[in-house]
Every structure is written in structure tokens, then in C-alpha cells.
């Protein structure tokens, strides 16, 4: 059975107490199903709460939204990969569009973060995606290829640990989706990029993100190129999220 990941990026929502309440309700409705994984990316302060509440339940993974590339040091306000791991993370988002476009993160920094995560046995979920004007100018694949360059120099074994999330910037929080066909085209391009570097096509996991909701998740997941979804807004409401996962 192929892998189906439902990943919730909570962004700057839900503190530790909210997270505990959320998980309590979610888990009362949750049943593990083969092939389906539910990933939570809470705010760093809520990581231990989510990790403890999930308590190693089958099919549930917890990750950080961001890490610094150094393991420790004078970087006020940052958290490192080993710290995230100590707080219960098994994975982390890297290069989310909000990190790139609001906080000015570069592909170079993104690449260093991916390496920090791999050093600490955390799964990097590298987010890529074009802005509206880039899509309109027909530059989508070029932009995505430029962002994948953050992975340059990693060998096939390391690349095989990386998950990619394709999140077109114009679809994030806007209510606009890429069509399953548009998303599949970009996913196919990303899969070929990995295949050219020695990662078998079936081993590359690529998520789609951008205004995924309970009413549009099915056609997206029906597309064989799409191995799962990365969800913002619809993941912070426990009823909506439980419905989507079900
Ligand atoms: P929305 O689902 O709110 O569009 O957010 C998508 C996203 O950025 C997930 O990382």
C-alpha cells in the first residue's frame, strides 16, 4: 500500500495547553490504518506536549516547524535540531514559504538546515513552491529546481531521507488550490530530480500544500504523484482535521 501522509502545520497557533486538548480529542477519534500517517508540526513550545500526548501511537509523527543549522550557540530566539529532538521531534519543516518570504531565509540557509537535521536523524520536510508571478511567467519548474539546489551535494542515501512539500505560495492561506493535475506535474518534476540522483521513484515522498480542506483533499490524494498533504488552516481545528484524516 502506498504511503499517505496527513501533515498539519499549526504555524503560530495552539500553545502547549491547547495542544494537549487538541490531541486528547483527536486521539479519541483516531484509529491507526496501514499506510496512513498523521504528522503534527506544532509551535516549538508545544512540541513536548504533542509528543507526550501522542505517546508513540502508531502512525503519528511529531515535528518542528523550523530549526537553526548550528547545534548550539549565541542565536537568540532560535532552536537547534538536537533541541527539537530532545523535545520529542522526529522531523522538521525546512524552508517553508513563510520562512523564506517573511523572514528572508535563503536557499543556502535552507540547505544548512537540511544537513543539520540529517546529522541528528530527523526527517527534513523541505518546502518548495513558486510565487504567483513566477507561475504566470511559466517559471514554476525553474523556481522549484532552484530551491531543490539546497540539497546539492547530498548522496542518494541522504536524499532518500528527505521529504519534499510542494506548496505554491499563491495557494497558501488563499483558498486557491493548484489543480491535482498542476500539482502532479510539479511532483513529477521533483520525483525525476531525485531519480536522477539515485533515489528510486517509489521511495520519494512528495506532499502537496496550499488551501487543502476536507472538501478538496480527496481529488488531490487520488493523484498517484501526491503522497500526502501539508495543511495549515484546516489542521488547527480538531473537528476539521479529524474529518480530513478520516
Ligand atoms: P493553508 O492550508 O492554510 O493554505 O497553509 C498551507 C501551508 O502553508 C502548510 O504548510
> pLDDT by residue (tens digit) across 134-193?
999 999 999 999 999 999 999 999 999 999 999 999 999 888 888 999 999 999 999 999
| 46 closest CA partner among 9, 18, 66 | 18
Q: Whose CA is nearest to atom 2 of ligand 1?
A: 232
pLDDT at 114: 98
CB of 9 within 6 A of ligand 1: the answer is yes
Give residue-wise pLDDT tens across range 203-220: 999 999 999 999 999 999
Residue pair 128/164 in contact (Cβ under 8 Å)? The answer is: yes
Q: Assign 56 a pLDDT band (cuts: 50, 70, 90).
A: confident
Question: Catalytic: 96?
Answer: yes
CATH superfamily entry for domain 4-245: Aldolase class I (3.20.20.70)
pLDDT at 225: 96
CA gap 186, 16 in Å, rounded:
36
Q: Is the sign of the CA dihedral 79, 116, 2, 224 positive or negative?
A: positive
For residue 233, give the ligand 1 atom closest to its CA.
3
- DSSP state, 55? T
Which of 209, 214, 244 is the pocket-test mutation for ligand 1 (most atoms within 8 Å of CB)? 209
Is the pLDDT at 1 greater than 60? The verdict is no
The grid coordinates of residue 11 equal: 504555524
Tell me the domain boundaries of the chain.
4-245
CA gap 71, 55 in Å, rounded:
26
Amino acid at each position: 500500500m502506498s504511503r499517505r501522509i496527513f501533515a498539519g502545520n499549526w504555524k503560530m497557533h495552539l500553545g502547549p495547553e491547547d495542544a494537549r486538548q487538541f490531541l486528547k480529542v483527536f486521539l479519541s477519534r483516531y484509529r491507526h490504518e496501514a499506510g496512513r500517517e498523521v504528522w503534527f508540526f506544532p509551535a516549538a513550545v508545544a512540541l513536548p506536549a504533542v509528543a507526550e500526548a501522542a505517546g508513540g501511537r502508531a502512525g503519528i509523527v511529531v515535528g518542528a516547524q523550523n530549526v537553526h543549522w548550528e547545534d548550539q550557540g549565541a542565536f537568540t530566539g532560535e532552536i537547534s535540531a538536537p533541541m527539537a529532538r530532545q523535545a520529542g521531534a522526529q522531523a522538521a519543516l525546512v524552508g517553508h514559504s513563510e520562512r523564506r518570504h517573511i523572514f528572508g531565509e535563503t536557499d543556502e540557509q535552507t540547505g544548512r538546515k537540511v544537513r543539520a537535521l540529517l546529522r541528528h536523524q530527523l526527517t527534513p520536510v523541505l518546502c518548495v513552491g513558486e510565487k504567483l508571478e513566477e507561475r504566470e511567467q511559466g517559471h514554476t519548474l525553474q523556481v522549484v529546481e532552484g530551491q531543490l539546489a539546497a540539497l546539492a551535494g547530498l548522496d542518494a542515501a541522504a536524499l532518500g531521507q528527505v521529504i519534499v512539500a510542494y506548496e505554491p505560495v499563491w495557494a497558501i492561506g488563499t483558498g486557491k488550490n493548484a489543480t491535482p493535475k498542476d500539482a502532479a506535474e510539479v511532483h513529477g518534476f521533483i520525483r525525476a530530480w531525485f531519480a536522477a540522483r539515485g533515489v528510486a521513484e517509489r521511495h520519494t515522498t512528495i506532499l502537496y500544500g496550499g488551501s487543502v480542506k476536507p472538501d478538496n483533499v480527496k481529488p488531490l490524494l487520488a493523484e498517484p504523484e501526491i503522497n500526502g498533504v501539508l495543511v495549515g488552516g484546516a489542521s488547527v481545528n480538531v473537528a476539521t482535521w479529524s474529518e480530513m484524516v478520516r
